Amino acid sequence: MTTLSEPQARQHADSDTRLRVVLMLEIQDGAQQRFLDVYENLRHQVASVPGHVSDQLCQSINDPRQWLITSEWRDQETFLKWVESPAHREMVKPMHGCVSDTFRSMRYTILRETSVAGATGTARPVEVPPGLPRTTPAGHVGPPKADPGPDGVVRHALTFTVKPGSEHEVARILSGYTSPKAEVDETTRLRRTSLFMHGNRVVRAVEVIGNLGDALRHVAMQPEVRSVEAELNPHLEEARQLGDPQSARAFFARAALPAGHQAVAGSPTAGRLHRHAVLYPVKPGSGQAVADLLAAYDDEATADPTGPVVTGTVFHRDDTVVRLVDLRVPAEADPAAALGVAGEREAAALGRLLDLGPGGDLRTVAGLSRFLAARAMSPVTDRSSQDS
């Protein structure tokens, strides 16, 4: 990195007239795609305004409704001339229809700057091994993890930990709750909820037709769910109150385990499927690479109409990676499919990214079976909408 020295910084500050504009906004529920379409059109118009240097659109990793637009201008005068013009007011009108009452603009002069030598202002993409897909496409803006899968189903998971020693009681509470009503509104419906545990970690995977945010808020406010939360709270390592909207939002942000990749077999499947989940012991910093390897396996596996994998969803956040699969056979009958291991090369690559323990080896059937037994999540309950 090239950092300006103190004398250089003072001199640069004296001569630099650039302006940084920061716009914080909250997007209305259900309006994110419309907002992105408006922004895509707007940014090209703004780029042609004299004095405009660059802009960037960012989304909060904690609350997908919170967005940030930053722009850089040659100087304050050119920005003010544009922002106070009738042309500007007409240009931004379509955006106001997407934005809720949180709408804040701040302006700063640029005094000091540290940059990477030779950088163009575009963030360098995360390196992915050759031949492997990214779970989030390069250049994508917005929340891909809330997008429907190939079958039109939105998949999402929540994860949290309970106090060690309380696992048996927690499993009892979670397996005995009354399911909330499946119908959220005319366009949104809860399709399926699957609960798993591994040690003191709980993973709740949900399937939704329609709007995920509406479904999660609907569930959080149901009396039967709030009753379970009250019973569960003494056992949680971090308590939560879903009846309080602010607390519920904080919980959903903290517990979110988004579906980074979804793969679904193209042909319908008759007969009973076996739902199965694995919690991977990821080495620090290797979560994205593990998720990419599993995504590559699921894409290939679901393309085979006679193969064992019918659906594969990789839930991923930081170094927490869970893969949920629907198999035509029990997991023990095909541990490689249950774990997402295609062959010896892929097994070796995945093994380097995981903490397999002494003697752990994913290149043999025996090693796969031992790993599956150790890392498979225990099913607690699995309910589809017709069970509600």
Dump pLDDT digits (tens) for 256-270: 898 888 999 876 666
Q: Of 115, 135, 162, which marks where a domain is finished?
A: 115
- Tell me, what's the pLDDT at 103? 56
CATH number at residue 181: 3.30.70.100
Lowest mean pLDDT among 93-102, 138-147, 172-181, 182-191: 138-147
CA atoms within 13 A on the CB side of 229: 19
Tokens 């060690």, residue?
164
pTM here is: 0.63
Residues 178 and 262 placed together within one structural domain of the fold: yes
In this structure, the answer to whether residues 293 and 183 fall within a common structural domain is yes
Q: Which pLDDT belongs to residue 107?
A: 85
Who wins on pLDDT, 346 or 134? 346
Domain assignment present for 313: yes
Q: Is the same domain home to 274 and 215? A: yes
Q: Are residues 316 and 258 in the same domain?
A: yes
Confidence of residue 249 (pLDDT cuts 50, 70, 90): low
Q: How many independent structural domains does the chain possess? A: 2
Query: Rounded CA gap, 294 and 314, in Å?
Result: 7
What's the Cα-to-Cα distance from 51 to each of 19, 77, 107, 263, rounded to whole Å? 10, 9, 15, 46
Q: Each residue of 314-361: pLDDT tens digit?
A: 999 889 999 999 999 999 999 999 999 988 999 999 999 999 988 889
- Percent of the residues in the chain that have a pLDDT greater than 70, as a whole number: 81
Residue 57, domain member (yes or no): yes
In a domain, 136, yes or no: no
Average pLDDT score over the chain: 81
Per the domain annotation, does 139 fall within a domain? no
Statement to judge: residues 194 and 105 lie in one domain = no
Residue 250 tokens read as: 């904080």
Residue 120 and residue 255: Cα distance in Å, rounded? 35
Hey, CA dihedral for 313, 157, 61, 91, is it positive or negative? positive
Share of the chain above pLDDT 90, in %: 35
Domain that holds residue 271: 144-387
Q: Is residue 137 part of a domain?
A: no
Q: How far apart are the first and last CA of the chain?
A: 58
CB 54 within 8 A of CB 71: yes
Shared domain check, 73 and 164: no
Is 165 a member of any domain? Answer: yes
* Listed range (25-34, 143-152, 291-300) with the worst mean pLDDT: 143-152
- Which stretch, 116-120, 176-180, 331-335, 357-361, has highest mean pLDDT? 331-335
Task: Verify that 73 and 157 share a domain, yes or no.
Answer: no
- Could you tell me if residue 170 is inside a domain? yes
Are residue 151 and residue 84 in the same domain, yes or no?
Answer: no
99 plus 246 within the same structural domain = no
Checking if the pLDDT of 133 tops 60, the result is no
Q: Do residue 60 and residue 197 come from a single domain?
A: no
State which of 115, 130, 164 marks the end of a domain: 115
Residue 300 confidence (pLDDT) above 80: yes
Q: pLDDT digits over 309-324, tens only?
A: 999 999 998 899 999 9
Residue 320 placed within a domain:
yes
Residues 162 and 111 occupy one common structural domain: no
- Clarify whether residues 103 and 184 are in a common domain: no
